[in-house]
Amino acid sequence: MKKPETPAPQAANAATAPAATPAPPPAKEELPVAAELTPAQLEEIKARAAKADEHWDRLLRTTADFENFKKRAARERTEAAQAATAALMQKLLPVLDHFEMAQTAAQTAEAPPGGVAALQAGIAMIQQQLKTALAESGLEEIDATGKPFNPAWHEAISLMESAEVPEGHVVRQIRKGYKFRDRLIRPATVIVAKKPAAR
């Protein structure tokens, strides 16, 4: 008797067969080659290329203009600062001349008419001339005496008991402060009042 044929070899073949390979990714859409372009598409590409060139040239010109503007602005700032300094120097030159004349007068053997009082008056005039020149250029004194202490404009070096000046106010100014067009140059050095201690 013959044995019935079994499908075992097919099963073995199926077991050894390689697994199904995944489908390849979809190919990227390829750009049409020049031969496949229509005349209208070719003209559109040429127009876009011309516009890109125009934008690039405009960008280069704008960048060059901006660099020139920055250089010109820096040069103008420097020239303005130099002009302001020169104007201040011109205002201070007469003060320097008067100081030199006062020094010469003080060093001479002969006393000037009016003696020491005349020399003191001359120095006071020179000081006022200097203050005027600096004030015209924007320098302003900070007068702190008797005013409330303000840490933005004043620098306290100590406290002093005072019955006449309110607590927290400046009782004495040791050194003047100065500001230039609302910008602090040097704070006023002050002594601040405090309440007298109970006795």
Residues of the chain under the 50 pLDDT cut: 1, 8-9, 11-18
* pTM, to two decimals: 0.55
pLDDT on residue 65: 95
Check if the beta carbon of residue 174 is closer than 8 Å to that of residue 190. Answer: yes
pLDDT on residue 31: 52
Check if the beta carbon of residue 164 is closer than 8 Å to that of residue 181. Answer: no
Burial of 102 (0-12, 13-18, 19+ CB in 10 A): middle
Looking at residue 71, what DSSP letter applies?
A: H
What topology does CATH give the domain 40-137? Answer: Hemagglutinin Ectodomain; Chain B (3.90.20)
pLDDT digits (tens, 9 = 90+) for 79-119: 999 988 888 888 899 998 988 888 887 777 565 566 777 77
Looking at residue 104, what DSSP letter applies?
A: H
pLDDT on residue 17: 47
pLDDT on residue 185: 93
Count of beta carbons in the 10 Å neighbourhood of residue 194:
17
CATH 2.30.22.10 at 140-199, yes or no: yes
The domain locations on the chain are 40-137, 140-199
| Domains 40-137 and 140-199 are alike in CATH topology | no
